[in-house]
Structure formats: C-alpha cells, structure tokens
Amino acid sequence: MATVNFSVPEDIKAAFNETFNHQNKSAIIAELMREAVERARRRQRSQDAISNILARREDAPVLTELEFRRAREQGRP
C-alpha cells in the first residue's frame, strides 16, 4: 500500500480528526479519494458527451420552422 502526504489547513485537519475520532482515518481518506476520482471521471465523461453533441450539431441539417412542424406532424399517428 502506498503512503501519501498532503498539506491541509489546520482547521480542516482538526474537524476531520474530531468527526472521525476512533475510526480508521486511512480507510476514510482512501474512500474519499476513490469518490473524488469517480466524480472527476464522471465530470470528464459529461464534458466529452457535451462536446460530442455540440460537434454533431454543427453538421446537423438546418430546418425552417415550417419544415420542423411538418416533420413533427408527420411523425404523429
């Protein structure tokens, strides 16, 4: 298992120690790190999806309001 060192503000350290008193702080930090990694990956996937949608919109056909309305009405039963 790897060891990491981080500098944190003293008030955060104190609050963390108080909140997680008598708990395995290494396990808590590891879980928080896992969650942060997953959050960052989700955010990146979301940004990638948005970029893909915007890129595809550049190539999408442009319809007038009348064309759009006709297409919409044709799709109705």
**Contacts for 71 with CB less than 8 Å, ≥ 6 apart:** 63
DSSP-derived letter for residue 16 is H
Q: Per the domain annotation, does 38 fall within a domain?
A: yes
- Look at residue 8 in the predicted model and tell me its pLDDT: 95
- Look at residue 35 in the predicted model and tell me its pLDDT: 98
- Look at residue 77 in the predicted model and tell me its pLDDT: 61
Q: How confident is the model at residue 72 (pLDDT cuts 50, 70, 90)?
A: confident
Q: Per the domain annotation, does 3 fall within a domain?
A: no
pLDDT digits (tens, 9 = 90+) for 7-61: 999 999 999 999 999 999 999 999 999 999 999 999 999 999 999 999 999 988 8
Q: Containing domain of residue 65, as a range? A: 10-74
- Look at residue 7 in the predicted model and tell me its pLDDT: 95
Cα–Cα distance measured from residue 61 to residue 26, given in angstroms and rounded to the nearest whole number: 54
Give how many domains the chain has, as a whole number: 1
Half-sphere exposure of 15 (CA within 13 A, CB side): 5
Q: Per the domain annotation, does 65 fall within a domain?
A: yes
